[in-house]
Chain A
Amino acid sequence: MKDYVKEKGTQRKGMKRDAIILGITLIITIALLSIFPDKQEAVITTSWNFFIEMILILPAVMVLMGLFSVFVPKEMVVRYLGKAAGIKAVFLGILMGSLPTGPLYVAFPMASALIKKGAKISCIIAFISAWACIKIPQEVVELQFLGPKFMAARLILTIIFVAIMGILIERLIEWSDKKKQTNLRR
């Protein structure tokens, strides 16, 4: 409960900060456009086009995120990842990371809890990385703005390299832990 209140407080502070930055941006823009009137048309048309493109998909993206966050609770993710093993764990980590929503700082405590539960490091690394950069609603926006080829290529490459990174970090950590142990024995 305490965490919830704290989170709400930081959210409100964040919104206030965003509103202030928006105000400053607007003032600077108006000032710049009145100094350089010949740029007005280009700036306004470009912004307007991007605004339209964004407003056509943003409500849908937000609804998707809301649905995922309510229907796929955090506990479910922790339950599934806690007992997964092998290379399957890595891909399950990626899959789970891409499902729910929320900012990255929510994923860290979850990952820490998963490690304590005995989840593999490769799985956790894949989970955090997927949480950071592969989100279904996020991919949808990437599709809209950068096209299917770009989105598909980046998605596939990211999955491959995140899996490799997970396994690599697991090996490195195991190796360094082993070294530390043998050093202690001496």
Chain B
Amino acid sequence: MNTTTIFINVFTFGCLIFAIIKDRIKTKQALTVSLKSFFRIIPSVLIIIIFIGLLLGFIPQSQISKIVGEQAGFGGVLIVALLGAFLHIPSLISFPLAASLLKSGASVTSVAVFITTLTMIGVVTLPLEIKELGKKMALMRNGISFVIAIIIGIIMGVFL
């Protein structure tokens, strides 16, 4: 167990104690919600974990770094940005996936861009966004987010 794991669990435990002191009934309600969402997300977690195993086991590192690594240049960044925009996987499990890519030679820039477009841009949810907020606002938000994701990625690539 590393420090992050311990920190997260202690922090959650603290919040839980605080919640119990504040409102016992609400806490029970919250734990039911937690349990339900836990079982809801477990299949997707397992899918991603198996996928990571296959990815790292079968595709040689040189291949991954050729597509999304430093030498891939801007084209590689653009590919992962588009991939992130179109894919619809829960953001929680995008982090292990991103970590595995980083481990096998992807650049910091492309990993940061991937996470950012994956979370901020939803091509799948775009119709709903247009319906609720109007075409102008929805398209502008998604479009500018795409540019922002690439800028954030490039800045992170320079500093990290």
Residue positions of A touching B, CB distance < 8 A: 11, 14-15, 18-19, 21-22, 25-26, 29, 32, 36, 39, 42-44, 46-47, 50-51, 53-54, 56-67, 69-71, 104-105, 108-109, 111-112, 115, 121, 124-125, 128-129, 132-133, 135, 137-138, 140-146, 148-150, 153-154, 157-158, 161-162, 165, 168-169, 172-173, 176
Contact = CB atoms under 8 A, between A and B. Distances in A.
Contact of B54 (A32, A57, A62, A64): A32
Interface in B127-143: 128-129, 131-133, 136-137, 140-141
A132 B5 contact: no
B144 interface: yes
Contact of B98 (A11, A18, A105, A146): A146
A133 B122 CA distance: 11
Contacts of A62: 34-35, 37-38, 41
Contacts, number: 215
B12 A64 contact: yes
Contacts of A25: 46-47, 50-51
Contacts of A53: 5, 96
Nearest to B40: A15
A144 B43 contact: no
Contacts of B91: 132-133, 135, 138
A22 B50 CA distance: 9
B82 interface: no
Contacts of A150: 108, 112, 156, 160
22 contacts: A18-B44, A43-B58, A47-B49, A47-B52, A51-B46, A58-B38, A71-B19, A71-B23, A104-B122, A132-B119, A133-B116, A133-B119, A135-B91, A138-B119, A141-B95, A143-B8, A145-B95, A146-B95, A157-B155, A158-B152, A162-B148, A173-B137
B57 A42 contact: yes
Interface of B: 1, 4-5, 8-9, 11-13, 15-16, 19, 22-23, 26-27, 29-35, 37-38, 40-41, 43-47, 49-54, 56-58, 91-93, 95-96, 98-100, 102, 108, 111-112, 115-116, 119-120, 122, 125, 128-129, 131-133, 136-137, 140-141, 144-145, 148, 151-152, 155-156, 159-160
B19 to A, nearest CB: 5
B108 to A, nearest CB: 7
A71 B100 CA distance: 34
Nearest to B26: A70
Contacts of A70: 26-27, 29-30, 33
A58 B45 contact: yes
Nearest to B131: A108
A18 B53 contact: no
A21 B89 CA distance: 13
